[in-house]
Amino acid sequence: MIKRKKTKQIFVGNVPIGGNADIAVQSMCNTPTWDVEKTVNQIKELEAAGCEIIRVAVPDKKSADALKEIKQNISIPLIADIHFDYRLALAAIENGVDALRINPGNIGKEDFIRQVVEAARKKHIPIRIGVNSGSLEKEFSHLGKVDAMVASALKNVSILEKYDFDMIKISLKASDVLTTIEAYEKISEKTDYPLHVGITEAGTLKSGLIKSSIGIGALLLKGIGDTIRVSLTAPPKEEVFAAYELLKSLQLRHRGVNLISCPTCGRTKINLIELAHKVEEIVASVDKPLTIAVMGCPVNGPGEAKGADLGIAGGIGEGYIFKKGEIIKKVPEQQLLEEFKKELSSMI
Amino acid sequence: MIKRKKTKQIFVGNVPIGGNADIAVQSMCNTPTWDVEKTVNQIKELEAAGCEIIRVAVPDKKSADALKEIKQNISIPLIADIHFDYRLALAAIENGVDALRINPGNIGKEDFIRQVVEAARKKHIPIRIGVNSGSLEKEFSHLGKVDAMVASALKNVSILEKYDFDMIKISLKASDVLTTIEAYEKISEKTDYPLHVGITEAGTLKSGLIKSSIGIGALLLKGIGDTIRVSLTAPPKEEVFAAYELLKSLQLRHRGVNLISCPTCGRTKINLIELAHKVEEIVASVDKPLTIAVMGCPVNGPGEAKGADLGIAGGIGEGYIFKKGEIIKKVPEQQLLEEFKKELSSMI
């Protein structure tokens, strides 16, 4: 089991981040925020997929204005992502968001920063400092990239602390996996604020899953990370799916089915890829934490997957249903999925 | 940079494994091995994708017989995967395979083991001991899973060493990520033989990429692993693609393009997902190690991706081509991909 670093706990709405809290799953909308209907629909879809916190971009006044109505129509906490403009931050707070992502160092005038911090404090709204390796302050350009990221985060932390504000969360994202891992390791040694972990600009679905899983996975294995976002150039619900797969693989969260399935090989006599995908569809809506196996052959399959609560092993023109390593039923291939569904229903 | 553990070097055909050698990418055919045409075609497709070593299942005599013709028609080293039957191992060696995967402890009689080892030694053919957590010897059932896997591997090593055979490679696969990581860490401390790393039965494409990337990634980050297979319930060329993405992310191999792309957000004015996928297709055949970026906005994009050799940033109805952070061209959206291709061609 992974031993997590204990960080200070903050709350984004009703979701605790850090301390002993579960690692929270978040995502970001890719709808125009001012389009309330589209944005609310996407958030509801993400909620259904298990998203626990949602972030939206607030690049302009009409987006900030839309936050009020969005907030009224969703159940999960809402974070406003703001660059530079303190007026947008004030409007977002006024409109009921549960947290901000804004770097105080980018706001400009002291008086503007103070206004944002005071407004956030009054409503108990935490602020995420989101350092991105691609847009670091010039003052840190003499440092290596990792040290510059850490220095930038700490500078922003100190600005907030100057105003006695400590509802802080930090992220330090780079598109490079090694840089990201090293930056989070360093900041984790220097601060106890909770960390939002992710690889930025990780790429399209497959490459993005790979980079995010290596980077976020390596950090979680070290006990680092209080909330995660898997950034993908893909529909946001893929980000939520991936986040849970990642957390389940590391036994940090238990939600729905852990599917194990053979790679295909020359021994397989059935269409295993198709079978595994059909089983994946069937179990997608199951919330109960179960391990389900789809194996290519009845000889090794049930034994190798004896940890599985329920499994299918393919034979020639027929298949086997097994539980905890024991074959309980032999059925013709055409009835395999039906029988599997029956067994599954009886377990949930 | 990752500091790799230095292991003993062996050769699978002309591919070095261990020592200072590059981490070799391998996959496994899912065609029936006795179907020479299908198997050779699949291997050629995998070769083109970058596969460096290919394994085939040899469950019966007709598969063993097919190895000779397969071997004559492919360029990369061929590994025969054999369970139990020493006669199949002898036939595979006779038919020119470059390596075996067989656990000597499963062969049975001492005399049978001796015959296989002598034949392998004579042709300089290494043997991979492939321990699988689902099929461990009963004698180790009193141990925890990880210790049982390590004990099984060491027992098999000692059988081979008894016959003065040291062209050994070891794998210790489990479908559970944490178990796999711990098992490889332990065996790596106890032996200097090169390690073949992978997560077995990792699942369908997306889940499998996630589990494999966490597990293989965590081990490679610790310097463990001399050759990898990403096991997926998916076409084997996905395994090869994933292996390179994984190795490139960790800067352990450099092959083709490293694509970085924004997650979409409410700020994006173009269809970024589609654009990124089109760029991914265009660069798929590029061998030169380049970093290419596809960014959602012209304001932050070029700066955030200033490490990219070439990039596209989307605007409203138009796009920007940039190199190393500097915009070099503004073009209408419809011409964006054409201009990108031109710039790419001039670089390769």
Q: Do A245 and B306 touch (CB under 8 A)?
A: no
- Per-residue model confidence (pLDDT) at position B100: 98
- Chain segment B158-216, per-residue pLDDT in tens: 999 999 999 999 999 888 999 999 999 999 999 999 999 999 888 889 999 999 999 99
Question: pLDDT tier at B273 (50, 70, 90 boundaries)?
Answer: confident
- Per-residue model confidence (pLDDT) at position B298: 76
Arithmetic mean of pLDDT, B297-307: 78
Longest dimension (CA), chain A: 75
- Chain segment A39-55, per-residue pLDDT in tens: 999 999 999 999 999 99
Of B57, B217, B265, the CB nearest to A217: B217
- Chain segment B53-92, per-residue pLDDT in tens: 999 999 999 999 999 999 999 999 999 999 889 999 999 9
Q: In percent, how much of chain B has pLDDT > 90?
A: 74
Instruction: Classify domain B10-249 at the CATH topology level.
Output: TIM Barrel (3.20.20)
- Per-residue model confidence (pLDDT) at position A57: 95
Residue with tokens 């300089």: B124
Nearest CA in chain B to A259: B203
Taking each helix axis from N to C end, the angle separating A61-72 and A36-49, rounded to the nearest 10 degrees, works out to 50
Nearest CA in chain B to A36: B266
Nearest CA in chain A to B278: A204
Arithmetic mean of pLDDT, A154-182: 95
Mean pLDDT of chain A: 93
- Per-residue model confidence (pLDDT) at position B54: 98
Of B28, B177, B261, the CB nearest to A201: B261
Chain B residues in contact with A213 by the CB 8 A cut-off are 209-211, 213-214, 217
- Chain segment B224-266, per-residue pLDDT in tens: 999 999 999 899 999 999 999 999 999 999 888 888 888 777 7
- Per-residue model confidence (pLDDT) at position A339: 93
Nearest CA in chain A to B136: A304
Q: Give residue limits of the domains in chain A.
A: 10-249, 258-345
- The secondary structure element, H or E, covering residue B115 is helix B110-122
- Per-residue model confidence (pLDDT) at position B114: 94
- Per-residue model confidence (pLDDT) at position A199: 92
- Per-residue model confidence (pLDDT) at position A56: 97
Of B59, B175, B205, the CB nearest to A266: B59
Question: pLDDT tier at B279 (50, 70, 90 boundaries)?
Answer: very high
Q: Do B266 and A31 touch (CB under 8 A)?
A: yes
- Chain segment A251-296, per-residue pLDDT in tens: 999 888 888 888 777 777 778 888 888 998 899 888 888 999 998 8
Question: pLDDT tier at B297 (50, 70, 90 boundaries)?
Answer: confident
- Per-residue model confidence (pLDDT) at position B269: 77
From A145-154, A278-287, B31-40, the region with the lowest mean pLDDT: A278-287
- Per-residue model confidence (pLDDT) at position B260: 87
- Per-residue model confidence (pLDDT) at position B304: 78
Burial B258-288 (b: 16+ CB within 10 A, else e): bbbbbbbbbbbbbebbebbbbbbeebeebee
Given the DSSP bridges, would you call strands B310-314 and A227-228 parallel, antiparallel or unpaired? unpaired
* Identical fold between B10-249 and B258-345: no
Cα B131 to Cα B179: distance, rounded to the nearest angstrom = 13
From A15-19, A218-222, B195-199, B298-302, the region with the lowest mean pLDDT: B298-302
- Per-residue model confidence (pLDDT) at position A285: 82
Top-ranked range on mean pLDDT: pick from A200-204, A308-312, B199-203: A308-312
- The secondary structure element, H or E, covering residue A295 is strand A291-295
Arithmetic mean of pLDDT, A7-34: 97
Cα B318 to Cα B298: distance, rounded to the nearest angstrom = 10
Mean pLDDT of chain B: 93
Longest dimension (CA), chain B: 75
Nearest CA in chain A to B269: A32
Q: Which residue has the higher pLDDT, A179 or A203?
A: A179
Chain B residues in contact with A306 by the CB 8 A cut-off are 134
Optimal mutation site among A264, A272, A309, interface B, most CBs of chain B within 10 A: A264
Chain A residues in contact with B257 by the CB 8 A cut-off are none
Q: Do B277 and A204 touch (CB under 8 A)?
A: yes
Question: pLDDT tier at B285 (50, 70, 90 boundaries)?
Answer: confident
CB pairs under 8 A between A and B: 230
- CATH code for the structural domain at A258-345: 3.30.413.10
Question: pLDDT tier at A203 (50, 70, 90 boundaries)?
Answer: confident
CA distance B164 to chain A (A): 31
Q: Do A233 and B263 touch (CB under 8 A)?
A: yes
Which 8-state DSSP code applies to residue B6?
A: P
> Do B36 and B61 touch, CB atoms closer than 8 A?
no
Q: Please report how many Cα atoms fall inside a 13 Å half-sphere around the Cα of residue A199, on the Cβ side.
A: 33
pLDDT(B306) > 90? no
> Nearest CA to B239 among B99, B49, B39?
B49
- Chain segment B121-132, per-residue pLDDT in tens: 999 999 999 998
